Amino acid sequence: MSYATYTMTAEKLEKIRKHAAGTENLSFNVKDCHYCGHKSILIYEDARGHVQAKCKICGEESLYNVLLRRSRSFYYNPVR
């Protein structure tokens, strides 16, 4: 099996650093995996819309509505 190699350019690295610096002063919430409870996603205060995240521990995918990040009923039914 062959894997594609990717070289990180200086421009791409600079963009990554710029975006990371933009989140330094933002507050965020940590949301757990719906299946195993592992902390699976950080949601920053400026986020909008929906996010689908795959858990690194159990491998299941969950769908989150980021606009509901402050409520107890944060998530939809788990995605299968």
Domain-wise residue ranges, the chain? 27-80
Q: Residue 13's pLDDT is what?
A: 92
Q: Residue 70's pLDDT is what?
A: 56
Task: Compare 68 and 61 and report the one with higher pLDDT.
Answer: 61
| 13, 20, 23, 26, 39 from 51: Cα distances, Å | 24, 19, 18, 18, 15
Residues 7-60 pLDDT 10s = 889 999 999 999 989 888 888 888 888 899 999 888 888 888 888 999 999 999
What's the N-to-C CA distance of the chain in angstroms? Answer: 28
What's the angle, vertex CA 34, arms to CA 29 and CA 35, rounded to 5?
140
Using only the alpha carbons of the chain, give its radius of gyration: 16
Q: What percent of the chain has pLDDT over 70?
A: 82
